[in-house]
Every structure is written in C-alpha cells, then in structure tokens.
Amino acid sequence: MTDEQLLRYSRHILLDALGIEGQERILATHALIIGAGGLGSPAALYLASAGVGKITLVDDDTVDFTNLQRQILHTEARVGLAKAVSGKQALAAINPDIEVVPLQQRLSGEALDTLVASVDLVLDCTDNFATRHAINRACVHHKKPLVSGAAIRFDGQISVYDLRRDDSPCYHCLFPEGDEVEEVRCAVMGVFAPLTGIVGSMQAAEALKLAAGIGESLTGRLLLLDALTMEWRTVRFKKDAGCAVCGPNGSGRAGEYLRQSGADREPATGACRLA
C-alpha cells in the first residue's frame, strides 16, 4: 500500500476489525455491479470511494431526465449518455486510482457466465425476476457471493447469498422461479428517492464486508424496510435442500448451468422493482 493509499483509507485502517489487511483485500477485489440505476448508483460510489480495486459496471440503458431524482451517479449534463459510461466518469471523479470497466450491454448466457466467473463478488442492482434468477444461477455455478437489493414505492429489501458456503441459501431458495409474483415498475408505481440510497448503501456495506472478510453478512436473513415508518423487519430463511438451482440436482451445477438456466433471457437493468 502506498503512502497516498494509507492516507486516503486511513479511517478504514483505524478500524480494528478492518485494518491494513482488510483494506488490502478491498484493494485487491474485483466487484461486478449489474445495474447503474437507483441502487447501483450509491453502491458503486461507496465501493469506489472505499477503494475496491476494480469495478465492472453493467447497464445497457442511457441516462434519462427522470432518472435524476434518485440515480445519483448521473447528472443533467450526461442525459442521453450511456449509464455505464456516465457511471465511470462519476467513479473516476471520486477515486481515479481504481479501475472501472463500463459495459453497455445486456448480459445473458455465456457472456454473463464468463463475467461472473472473472470477479470476486456480484451486486445485483437490477429490476426484474428473470435477470435476478439468471444472475443467481451464474453465482451458484461459480460459487460467487451475491448481494441483492430492491426498492419500490416506500418498500426496500436486501439480502446476501454467500455461495462460497455450502450452507448458504441462494436467491431461488427464497424466491422460487415460476411462483406467481407481481412485478411493478417505478415508472408506474414511483419510488422514494432516499430509499434507493439506503438500500444501495447497504449493498455496498455488505460487499465491503465480504471483500475484507470481516463481520457477519446477511446470509440467511432478508431485511425489509418500510421507509414511511422507518421500521425494519428481519425474515430468516435457510437453504432449500430441494432447490432447483443450488440443490444437489440443481441447474447451478457445473455442466448444467448453461443448458438449464434462464440466463439466456433478456435482462433489464435498473433498480426499481421489489424482489
């Protein structure tokens, strides 16, 4: 670690639980953030400021004027620019010493699988179930920790699926694919701007803990926030032994992932739907 890094990250280094060793692990981390919208914005900003050495930021959308109410990576001057490119500019302004790789594309199939295999952890900041399940399968396949958040109206949620652990549930254990679940868009239902900041910042916190190897993650716990009353609720859940993805006969097994997964479905990026 250089003298400049020792100074920049000094407030982390002062934390006994983190210290120089933990900060060095953060500096060596490659994080994948899928979605540069309401959740991806604060998550990316905090990972960059904290010194995550490499961030791959994926979003196929462009900055729209209606995004500016909550997507704090972007500015009015960058309306019309690719969100991934706009995000890179914002992160470079925060911390020019890290590497940011912007990808303006829809991740699916082998591209998603290959990218997840190349990183240390994944933050799901997307907005629909097909995408979330595809990301989950790739993370199960490659045993990568997954930090998942969602926000709509005044309701937020966050959990961690540390798929390096044999006892960790996956996203499918909690939200089985094929269940009848209503999907709603923020364009129709609205979303409280600070809510995306709260959930996205918590995703960054969980990702940094995973990167540094400190603390206790949200694995096996789903946190639910009602921002109108500012009350949190915790739901505990366990690995489903019969899970179609992470179970012994699941599609997340090596050799089965690409054939059985829904990873070839078109994902949409953003950060506005609950679950």
Catalytic residue set: 186
Any idea what the Cα angle at residue 244 is, between residues 241 and 245, rounded to 5°? 95
**Which residue from 64, 226, 103, 208 is spatially nearest to 73, judged by alpha carbons?**
64
Cα torsion 98, 99, 102, 103 to 10°: value is -140
In b/e form, how buried is each residue of 91-117, taking b as 16+ CB within 10 angstroms? beebbeebebebbbebbbeeebbebbe
Strand pairing of 155-162 and 221-226? antiparallel
Tell me the H-state helices in 80-239: 83-94, 109-118, 129-142, 171-174, 186-189, 193-212
| CA gap 111, 109 in Å, rounded | 6
Torsion angle (degrees, nearest 10) of CA 252, 239, 125, 140? -20
Q: What is the layout of strands, in order, in the sheet containing 30-34?
A: 99-103, 54-58, 30-34, 121-124, 145-152, 155-162, 221-226, 231-236
